[in-house]
Structure 1
Amino acid sequence: MKFFIDTANLDEIAEAKSWGCLAGVTTNPSLYAKTGGKLADFESHMLKIAELCEGLPVSAESTAATADGMVEEGLRLAALASNIVIKLPVCEAGLEACRKLADKGVRVNMTLVFSAPQALLAANAGARYISPFIGRFDDISEDGVAQLADVVTCIGNYDWSGKNVDDKVEIIAASVRTPNHVTQAALMGADIATVPLGTLKKCLRHPLTDRGIASFEADWKKVEQA
């Protein structure tokens, strides 16, 4: 399973990239707003992320309300850099725009997916990536991991050759909040987990690892002082 970072913060992207295990970036309007960015700077900011990631897929989300608007914005964003993927919400307009963009050779990440039927519709509309959410189910006391498992199984049952730009569909486990979400997504075969930097750091940490490092350092100091 590959790791994307879910942020629009350039410093966070650079830090995660320095670890050597980053495979892409996902952004959304809320994440861009958290950077304090302005509307006029949005496209230049997406370009900075695309350049920082050196060819790794970077999802930039359209905020248009109509299919025509999504297509227009999507084409403009995709023209900024070859690694920009257009992110669209799963809805009537989103599906229509997805098909039109895919037919023009633009990769689409269909987001806000909460069910297997939504995922199947997105795949048939030409989505290159499908982003089912996990954590938001926790907010309404439902099992997001089980819903993700249904999506992974349903999409994996079929050959999507010829449906989109790259003849494949990858599942991005989104709204990932805990290391256990990452583990469960990997166990069921999700292709990608897109994870905030804070959660990535939680995945890296383990108390026994920390204890072992501290022990090695203490013992080495004894060697140095001998």
Structure 2
Amino acid sequence: MNQLEALKQFTTVVADTGDFRQLSAFQPQDATTNPSLILKAVQKSEYAPLMQECVTRWKGRSIDELMDRLIVRFGCEILSIIPGRVSTEVDARLSFDTEATVARAERIVELYQAEGVHIDRVLIKIASTWEGIEAARQLEQRGIHTNLTLLFSFAQAVACGQARVQLISPFVGRIYDWYKKQAGASWNEAEMAGANDPGVQSVRAIYNHYKRFGIKTEVMGASFRNVGQIVALAGSDLLTIAPDLLAKLAESSEPVQRALDPQAALQLDLPAVTYDEAGFRYALNADAMATEKLAEGIRAFAADAAKLEQMMVAAA
């Protein structure tokens, strides 16, 4: 049994890609996309016709509608290959606008439904800002399930649990990146690997809190830099993994043991934590890593969304 097969015993494996032709090789349950992954995909010759077809078919529609139609088209292609759910992202430029996020999410779901896709097979990805979490709370109440992304802090996770969102995506690799950069020459890769990795520790704390207090929100570790981070989170509800790391897992026969256990979490003596808006904003502000990486992530996704728009305008 290879590491990928072993991991699937404890954890639902999700593919993190817009390159849907790679999916069948790894047989993931679910898949996630974002503007950066779609941008990367449409620059490949085999995917460029999808964008051209979308632009031609819906000529004259607003650019934001064309964007949504393109990402839904990719989502439908992905859903034709996988048995589970696809995560589709709301434009990151709406990350601080609850009302606009809700409206855009509802349109994305309507576009999927028009293609015959059941609402339960779609997760709407939203940045874990206070406004984004509030939008997710409203969407969940309407039966639209959400995946809260760009999540770097315990405070964000607690607020998502309170909002009863379907799933969160804590970003392991980007947390690791920040601490490694801060440490500079003093960083010791061997000492900070596996269970000592700061990104791994962040997800473990969130997972244990959720399981200890019966919070139903699913935990899906994301943004991995190496196989060690993935193996150290075996047992997480889900893990979303890029194709290159899925390939490495499939090539290795090293043992994989459950690292996160819901029954063990129930025995932990943990404090109950809740946040109102002021408390959330203060806790997030107090966490320099989370504040910086959240802002950086929104900027990067927004920039890639803008590039994708420019490509669509040029193709029109």
TM-score in terms of structure 1 length: 0.80
- Structure with the higher helix share, 1 or 2: 2
How large is the RMSD of aligned CA atoms in angstroms?
1.9
- Structure with the higher strand share, 1 or 2: 1
The 8 Å contact of residues 112 and 132 in structure 1, kept in 2 or not, is answered as yes
* 1:71 equivalent in alignment to 2:102: yes
Aligned residue identity for 1:149: R
Aligned to 1:191: 237
Per-residue Cα deviation, 1:28-75 (whole angstroms, up to 9, x for no partner): 111111112643522222222223324x01100101512122111212
* 1:14 equivalent in alignment to 2:60: no
Map 1:150-165 onto structure 2 (within 5 A): 150-160=205-215
Aligned residue identity for 2:250: L
The 8 Å contact of residues 107 and 128 in structure 1, kept in 2 or not, is answered as yes
Per-residue Cα deviation, 1:96-155 (whole angstroms, up to 9, x for no partner): 110110000011111111111110101111211111111112212251111111111111
Map 1:142-221 onto structure 2 (within 5 A): 143-160=198-215, 168-186=216-234, 189-206=235-252
Structure 2 CA distance for aligned equivalents of residues 152 and 86 of structure 1: 21
Structure 1 CA distance for aligned equivalents of residues 158 and 148 of structure 2: 11
The 8 Å contact of residues 16 and 243 in structure 2, kept in 1 or not, is answered as yes
Unmatched tracts of structure 1, length 5 or more: 161-167, 209-226
SS in 2 for 1:194: strand
Give the drift of 1:8.
Answer: 1.0
SS in 2 for 1:4: strand
Q: Which moved more, 1:41-50 or 1:194-203?
A: 41-50
Structure 1 CA distance for aligned equivalents of residues 16 and 130 of structure 2: 25
Structure 1 CA distance for aligned equivalents of residues 164 and 126 of structure 2: 12
Structure 1 CA distance for aligned equivalents of residues 36 and 164 of structure 2: 25
Structure 1 CA distance for aligned equivalents of residues 101 and 14 of structure 2: 24
Aligned residue identity for 1:75: E
TM-score in terms of structure 2 length: 0.58
Give the drift of 1:207.
Answer: 7.7
The 8 Å contact of residues 77 and 84 in structure 1, kept in 2 or not, is answered as no
Map 1:80-119 onto structure 2 (within 5 A): 80=112, 81-82=117-118, 83-119=121-157
Map 1:4-43 onto structure 2 (within 5 A): 4-17=14-27, 22-36=28-42, 38=51, 39=67, 41-43=70-72
Give the drift of 1:179.
Answer: 1.6
The 8 Å contact of residues 114 and 132 in structure 1, kept in 2 or not, is answered as yes
The 8 Å contact of residues 129 and 172 in structure 1, kept in 2 or not, is answered as yes
Structure with bigger RCO (C-alpha 8 Å, 6+ apart): 2
SS in 2 for 1:3: strand
SS in 2 for 1:87: strand
Aligned residue identity for 2:70: D
Aligned to 2:176: 138
Aligned residue identity for 1:44: R
* 1:49 equivalent in alignment to 2:78: yes
SS in 2 for 1:110: strand
Aligned residue identity for 2:161: A
SS in 2 for 1:185: coil
Identity rate of aligned residues, in percent?
26
The 8 Å contact of residues 50 and 84 in structure 1, kept in 2 or not, is answered as no
The 8 Å contact of residues 170 and 203 in structure 2, kept in 1 or not, is answered as yes
Aligned residues: 195
